[in-house]
Structure 1
Amino acid sequence: MPASTCPRRLSRATRARGLTARLLAVSMCMGLLITGTASASTTATGGAGCTLVPTSGTVSREAAGRTYHVNVPPGLPGPSVPLLLSLHGALQPYSLHERETRWSTAAADRHFIVAYPSAGAGLVWDADQRSADVTYLREVVKDISGSWCVDPRRIHVEGFSSGANMSARLACDAATVFASVAAYGGVSPSFTGSPCVPDRPIAVGLFHSDGDLISLPPLAVAHRDEWLRRNGCPATPVTEPGVPVEAAVYGPCRAGVEVVWRVYRGTHFWPADDNRTDIANRMWNFFLRNRLP
């Protein structure tokens, strides 16, 4: 897809010189169910009068004047449960990201709520500081937490490609809302010059593939190193033997957080087959380890 088809708000990236900047602009423009009986209403950390009654599969709701979709599986144990926001890549409908990641299936198996917000015009996330998308995603969390019993210390976000850039922006701008964030196939949201100043050290999981020609691996390494500096992490990670490329954990960093780094053999697109299972397991275990202080 040519960069010229990108929405106008990405022009800042294309004004930067060089092949790397043009490829980043393409990255930012690409990225390219369950029904059950109701459980008992619960009052808990999620707020007085909240419930864990399931939805009928993935259903649409509205926050900040925009649509998002949420899946609340049946049989969730109380008193409150984690919430995961899952952000699609550019030009992807939420439903494609839901099918590729299989987070709705994982939500039923691992007992959490998953929501699929949608980017605005052009289906490209605006990862600039304090963007309207930051406000929208905060409101999605508020809307879900106002109805269902969400544990406020276990609200997490993951994203792919443009959605990965956006999830990292939430680490920068909404670290008091999100306990930890994960990103696959993305780069730093500060690449275009937009600042990243988190309110606290925050755990970040960065996942990439060695053959990514959209979000180039050197840009992913630079993004990782930014978070190592921000979080005051040790320079030498704990590495995992026996993986085809690389799996490492940097920590403990300031305030006990960590930076997870995992590289797959593959391209820009969401991992398939065994790697699909691997990334889901690693992301979820990363979320479980890193709750809001």
Structure 2
Amino acid sequence: MKPIRLLLLVLFLLPAAASATNAQTCGGDTPCKIGNREYNILLPDGWDGVTPLPVMMHFHAFLRRGKTVVNHPRIGVETKPRGVMLIAPSAQNRAWRFWQDAPADIAFADAILADVAKRYPVDPTQIYVSGFSFGAAMAWRYACARGDKIAGLMTMSGTIPQTTPCPNPPDRVRHVHGLQDIWMSLPRGPGHDATNAVALWRKTFGCGQGRITQDYEIRAGIGATHLVWDNCSQGRSVTLDVHSGGHFIPEGWLGVQLDGLMAKSQD
């Protein structure tokens, strides 16, 4: 009787085992679900499974999704070796609703961060936000609403109107934009002033005169200028990289910004 009982036991347990195998945990290309919406996660290299993780939440460009971000050669490749968990929300209909002062996607981003904190140990003092193109504009909106909860904002080739009120700004902002960008044009000021691209932050932070600290190539044959405003109120700071190219994510730029922001957070 024992062999028969053992066989019955195995047959009884098979459906449960199969169900557990099919119920994959989210991560990488497998999205995490929040209601009828989703986001993707990319864990860093060599994480011990215990140490609280810094987080970078990146808002994707128009018509993209979270899966694009975690597989992007100039985004995830920067977070993985730095011990940073990458979080990539997916917009409804692949477009962020950043045109309003209080878009519904702010609440969605809040829900993602809360959900991630239930799944993983997260360092709440090191929540960074980034975005490219339409995603950069969404990141600006989020930073203006939740600035007290994030350790730094890093955006590429996208802004919101520079007169937008910013009631709750972050302490540190890093932005890069191309002079030849035809998709989300750099918002020039009087006299074609390129520094107007960060006028919102300079005004909100009460910054003084900025200064050029470096001229370099951001991509082969594409020159760039690095400007810094580190004389703002309450220790806040803004940097702007203006280059002669168009609409793209510069290779290595996110990594450089993360290194600087993370070092500052650990001071």
**Short-chain TM bin:** 0.7 to 0.9
User: In structure 2, what is the Cα distance between the partners aligned to 1:63 and 1:212?
Assistant: 34
Helix, strand or coil: the match of 1:176? Answer: helix
Deviations 1:6-28 (A, max 9, x none): xxxxxxxxxxxxxxxxxxxxxxx
CA gap 1:103/1:55 in 2 versus in 1, 3 angstroms? farther
User: In structure 1, what is the Cα distance between the partners aligned to 2:239 and 2:147?
Assistant: 17
Higher share of residues assigned strand: 2
Q: Tell me which structure has the larger Cα radius of gyration.
A: 2
Helix, strand or coil: the match of 1:218? Answer: coil
Query: Which residue of 2 is the match for residue 246 of structure 1?
Result: 225
* Residue type at the aligned position of 1:237: R
State the identity as a percent.
23
Query: Which residue of 2 is the match for residue 204 of structure 1?
Result: 173
User: In structure 2, what is the Cα distance between the partners aligned to 1:55 and 1:133?
Assistant: 21
CA gap 1:130/1:217 in 2 versus in 1, 3 angstroms? closer
Deviations 1:25-62 (A, max 9, x none): xxxxxxxxxxxxxxxxxxxxxxxxxxxxx976443112
* Residue type at the aligned position of 1:210: L
Contact map agreement 1:101 1:270 (CA 8 A) in 2: no
Contact map agreement 1:205 1:286 (CA 8 A) in 2: no
CA gap 1:198/1:147 in 2 versus in 1, 3 angstroms? same
Runs (5+) with no aligned partner, structure 2: 1-24, 189-193, 218-222
Please report the TM-score for the alignment, with normalisation by the length of structure 2: 0.77
Q: 2:112 aligns with which of 140, 163, 168?
A: 140
CA gap 1:108/1:269 in 2 versus in 1, 3 angstroms? closer
Contact map agreement 2:157 2:178 (CA 8 A) in 1: yes
Q: 2:235 aligns with which of 253, 256, 259?
A: 256
Q: How do 1:139-218 residues align onto structure 2 when only pairs under 5 Å count?
A: 139-188=111-160, 190=161, 195-218=164-187
User: In structure 2, what is the Cα distance between the partners aligned to 1:126 and 1:290?
Assistant: 31
Deviations 1:165-197 (A, max 9, x none): 000111111112222111101022x46x8x432
Contact map agreement 2:28 2:67 (CA 8 A) in 1: no
* Higher RCO structure (Cα 8 Å, ≥6 apart): 1
User: In structure 1, what is the Cα distance between the partners aligned to 2:61 and 2:225?
Assistant: 24
Moved more, 67-76 or 100-109: 100-109
User: In structure 2, what is the Cα distance between the partners aligned to 1:236 and 1:129?
Assistant: 28
CA gap 1:221/1:125 in 2 versus in 1, 3 angstroms? farther
Q: How do 1:1-293 residues align onto structure 2 when only pairs under 5 Å count?
A: 57-63=28-34, 65-77=36-48, 78-121=50-93, 123-127=94-98, 128-188=100-160, 190=161, 195-219=164-188, 221-243=195-217, 244-271=223-250, 276-277=251-252, 279-291=253-265
Query: Which residue of 2 is the match for residue 7 of structure 1?
Result: none
User: In structure 2, what is the Cα distance between the partners aligned to 1:163 and 1:247?
Assistant: 22
CA gap 1:185/1:76 in 2 versus in 1, 3 angstroms? same
User: In structure 2, what is the Cα distance between the partners aligned to 1:101 and 1:260?
Assistant: 24
- Cα deviation for residue 292 of structure 1 reads 10
- Cα deviation for residue 231 of structure 1 reads 0.5
Runs (5+) with no aligned partner, structure 1: 1-53
User: In structure 2, what is the Cα distance between the partners aligned to 1:101 and 1:196?
Assistant: 34
CA gap 1:58/1:104 in 2 versus in 1, 3 angstroms? farther
RMSD, aligned α-carbons: 2.5
Contact map agreement 1:69 1:116 (CA 8 A) in 2: yes
Q: Number of paired residues?
A: 231
CA gap 1:100/1:255 in 2 versus in 1, 3 angstroms? same
Contact map agreement 1:232 1:253 (CA 8 A) in 2: yes
Contact map agreement 1:64 1:139 (CA 8 A) in 2: no
Deviations 1:85-121 (A, max 9, x none): 1111111233334444533233321111101101112
User: In structure 2, what is the Cα distance between the partners aligned to 1:64 and 1:223?
Assistant: 36
Helix, strand or coil: the match of 1:197? Answer: coil
- Cα deviation for residue 285 of structure 1 reads 2.2
Query: Which residue of 1 is the match for residue 22 of structure 2?
Result: none
* Residue type at the aligned position of 1:254: S
